[in-house]
Amino acid sequence: MDAQESDDTVVTADRLPYRRVIDTGEPIRDVRYVGEAGDGSELHIVVHGAPLFDESGAVDGAVIVFDTV
């Protein structure tokens, strides 16, 4: 699925929710995407994400939640 953020920014690999959380160590909330589903219909998604830290405080992963609206 090709997607755009709500401000029409095309979502490139470095702007994917997981990448943003891992790279910054900061949570994301209510990030909205609009894309085209495989059947051609418009798809609206809201994304939330939070980093996971290891015992030394380094980012070790992330939890990302996608919700269709």
Domains of the chain: 3-68 (3.30.450.20)
In this predicted structure, what is the pLDDT of residue 21?
A: 96
How much is the pLDDT for 1? 52
pLDDT at 39: 92
The pLDDT of residue 55? 97
As a whole number of angstroms, the distance between CA 18 and CA 9 comes to 17
The pLDDT value recorded for residue 18 is: 92
Q: In tens digits, what is the pLDDT along the chain, a chain of 69 residues? A: 566 776 777 777 777 889 999 999 999 999 888 888 889 899 899 999 999 999 999 999 999 999 998
As to burial, measured by CB atoms within 10 angstroms (0-12 exposed, 13-18 middle, 19+ buried), residue 11 is middle
19-50: string of b/e by CB count within 10 Å (b at 16+)? ebbbeeeeebeebebeeeeeeeeeeebebbbe
Where do we find the tokens 């980093």? 51
